[in-house]
């Protein structure tokens, strides 16, 4: 094999590697795809409210929740909380630009109460998955 052919093959391989790296760095899309990347498992429920939504995912005996705002990129007060019946709530709150959470709790076969908030609006599920 000539030296020129080797250089061409190395250049092509480098181009493929660089393209793959750039695609991997591009990351997931915004919205539910972002929540899917944050929480393991499959989506079981979305709790919408006027300024955002809280999305719930289940993986085995664990429930994961994340609150997403309607207006991403703006730093605002957000929170998410999950409480399995008989346990204390697990929560995350603060001033975020993209999401609050994730919070994950072991639910087993117990009911859970989920709360989410963005700005002044909020959602509360009551006892669900009983």
Residue 91 lies in a domain: yes
47-61, pLDDT tens digit by residue?
Answer: 999 999 999 999 999
* pLDDT recorded at residue 29: 38
Per the structure, how many domains does the chain have? 1
Statement: residue 130 has pLDDT above 80: yes
Domain that holds residue 42: 30-128
Residue 15 lies in a domain: no
Statement: residue 40 has pLDDT above 90: yes
* pLDDT recorded at residue 49: 97
Residue 1 lies in a domain: no
110, 84 in Cβ contact below 8 A? yes
Rounded to 5°, the CA angle 61-33-80 comes to: 55
Q: How many CA atoms lie within 13 A of 104 on its CB side?
A: 11
Q: In CATH, what number is assigned to the domain containing residue 96?
A: 2.60.40
61-73, pLDDT tens digit by residue?
Answer: 999 999 999 999 9
Span 108-118, mean pLDDT?
Answer: 96
């Amino acid at each position: 094999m000539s030296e020129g052919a080797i250089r061409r093959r190395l250049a092509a391989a480098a181009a493929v590697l660089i393209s793959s790296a750039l695609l991997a760095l591009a990351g997931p899309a915004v919205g539910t795809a972002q929540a899917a990347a944050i929480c393991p498992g499959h989506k079981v429920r979305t709790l919408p409210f006027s300024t955002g939504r809280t999305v719930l995912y289940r993986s085995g005996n664990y429930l994961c929740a994340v609150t997403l705002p309607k207006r991403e990129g703006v730093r605002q007060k957000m929170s998410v909380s999950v409480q399995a019946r008989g346990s204390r709530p697990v929560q995350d709150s603060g001033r975020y630009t993209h999401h609050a959470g994730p919070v994950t709790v072991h639910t087993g076969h117990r009911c859970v109460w989920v709360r989410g908030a963005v700005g002044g609006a909020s959602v509360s599920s009551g006892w669900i998955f009983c």
